[in-house]
Amino acid sequence: MRQILIDGHNVMFAWEGVRQACLKDPRTGRQRVVEAASRYQAQRPGRKVIVVFDGRETPPWPSPNALGEGGVRVIYSRPPQNADMVIREMVEKASGKEEVWVVSSDREVQSHARACGAKVFGAKSFEAEMMGRPPSGPSLRGGRSASGRPEKPTRMRKMDVDFWLKVMSEEH
C-alpha cells in the first residue's frame, strides 16, 4: 500500500482557493485540505493518505490523531514538535517497508524524504495530480508547480547568504 503524507499547512497556503478560505478561517482551510485528500483517496484504492498539521491551533476534530472524511488520517503535531518533524519521523519509519509519497514544498522536508527513498511532490504539483490535470513541466517532482516553475525561489538573496555565513562562523 502506498502511504501519502501531506504537509497540511504547507498545502493550505500553496493552493489558491484554500489559501483564500484559510485567510478568513484557518479551520475552513484545514477542512478543505482534508476533503480534497479524502476525494483523492476514494478515487485511488490502495493509497493511505495522512494529512499532518501543526498542532498549535485547536483541531476541528476531537483528537489530535483522528480519521477525517473517507478514512483519511489527520494528525496534529504536539508541541514542541511541528508537522515537519512528524513527517520526517513517519518517513523514516516507513523507509524500506512501504512506498511513501511526501507532499510538501518545504525544501528540508523534501530533501529528507528523498534521502529516505520517498517520492516527493510539491504542493501545487500534487494539486494537479489530485485534480487529474497533467503537469506542464517535465515531472511532478522537485517542488515545481503545474506550470513547471519552482514553487519557491531557487536563489538566496545576498542578505540571506550574509546572515547564514555570519551565523555559521559564530558557531565554530
Q: Is the pLDDT of residue 9 over 60?
A: yes
Number of domains in the chain: 1
pLDDT attached to residue 149: 54
> Looking at residue 61, what is its pLDDT?
45
Res 120: pLDDT? 94
Q: What is the mean pLDDT of residues 30-56?
A: 89
Work out the average pLDDT over 29-47.
Answer: 88
Name the β-bridge partners of 49: 4
Mean per-residue pLDDT, 137-156: 50
pLDDT digits over 106-136, tens only? 999 999 999 999 999 999 988 887 777 665 4
> Could you give the CA distance from residue 67 to residue 21 in angstroms, rounded to a whole number?
22
Q: What is the pLDDT of residue 70?
A: 66
CATH code, domain carrying 131: 3.40.50
Instruction: Give the span between the Cα atoms of 100 and 92, in whole angstroms.
Output: 10
Residue 115's domain comprises: 2-171
